[in-house]
Amino acid sequence: MLTGTYVPGRSLVHRATPGLKLVLLAVFLVPISIWQTPLLAGVSAAVVLVGFAVARIPLRYLLAELKPLRWFLAVLVPYQWWALGLEAALQLLVGLVISVAAASLVTLSTRVSDLLDTVQRGLQPLRRLGVDPDKVALTVSLALRAIPVVRDLLHQTLEARRARGLERSPRALATPLVIRTVRHAERVGEALAARGYDD
């Protein structure tokens, strides 16, 4: 099963409602995205680190969340240094790291299911625009259920491709996989209809 990045805890940060955390995150990100002065960067970094300390989330979790940035930064920081100078390069680095870290604090301290519930509640006012939060919730569940199924279909298709000696053909993978996925989805749709979903 897919798991989120949640690090269990009972801190103030964990107990704050997901909605509040989202609002605070949005507010926090505004100044750092507009003015990138060293002072502001320092204060922002301190705020994020205090947040992690209060939440008692070890910094190795933070490092894991920052890891995807490494290729981007490895290419662009030297380039910025060469093109615009050291200061610009450092600002790029610091600004990105702080904002990704802040966002990670919210994600690490909030359960996936709680965030999904918040999203679903957030959608309630959109009913008037024709958004059906129950349909959204059902489709999320269907997708979570479908992930292991499609993964099985992927493995079956990879094996079939190997059996036919077509390992390097992307087409021999994708076409049967997509057809199987579609057929599976249509059977799921039929089963939902049989359970009265469309009535």
Partner 1 sequence: MPHIEFRGVSHAYGERRVLEGIDLELTQQRIGVVGANGSGKSTLARMVNGLVVPTDGTVLVDGLDTGKQGAAIRRRVGFVFPDPEAQIVMPTVAEDVEFSLRRTDLTQPQKSERVREVLERFSLGDHHDHPAHQLSSGQKQLLALASILVTEPAILVCDEPTTLLDLRHSRKVTQLLESLDQQVLLVTHHLDLLAGWERVVVIDEGRVVADGAAAEAISFYRRLMGA
Partner 2 sequence: MASTHTSTPSAPARASAGLTARDLALIAAFTALMVALFPVKLAVAGPTPIVLQNLALMLAGAVLGAKRGFYAALLFVLLAVVGLPVLASGVRGLAVFTSPSVGFVVAYPLVAWVIGRLVELRAPRVSTWWVIVACLVGGILVSYALGVPGMAWRSPKLTLATAATYSLQFIPGDLVKAVIAGVVAAGVHRAVPGLLPAPRPRRTPTSA
Binding site for partner 1 (CB under 8 A): 1, 141-142, 144-145, 148-149, 152, 184, 187-188, 190-196, 199
User: Pick from partner 2, partner 1, none: which does 122 bind, CB < 5 to 8 A by kind?
Assistant: none
Q: Which amino acid type is present at position 59?
A: L
Distance separating alpha carbons of residues 107 and 115, to the nearest angstrom = 9
Residue whose CB is less far from partner 2, 34 or 39 = 34
Q: Coil, strand, or helix at residue 164?
A: coil
User: Pick from partner 2, partner 1, none: which does 1 bind, CB < 5 to 8 A by kind?
Assistant: partner 1
Residue given tokens 């021999």 in the structure block: 172
Is-contact 121 131, C-beta < 8 A?
no
As measured in angstroms, the least distance from the Cβ of 184 to partner 2 is 6
CA–CA distances in Å: residue 78 to residues 10, 73, 88, 101: 41, 8, 10, 22
What radius of gyration do the chain's Cα atoms show?
A: 23
Is-contact 59 101, C-beta < 8 A?
no
As measured in angstroms, the least distance from the Cβ of 181 to partner 1 is 11
CA–CA distances in Å: residue 64 to residues 5, 104, 146: 10, 10, 27
199 touches partner 2 (CB under 8 A):
yes
User: Pick from partner 1, partner 2, none: which does 175 bind, CB < 5 to 8 A by kind?
Assistant: partner 2
**From candidates 119, 124, 156, 162, binder to partner 2 by CB under 8 A:** 119
As measured in angstroms, the least distance from the Cβ of 114 to partner 1 is 16
Q: Give me the 18-57 binding string for partner 2, x by CB under 8 A, dash otherwise.
A: ----x--x---x---xx-x---------------------
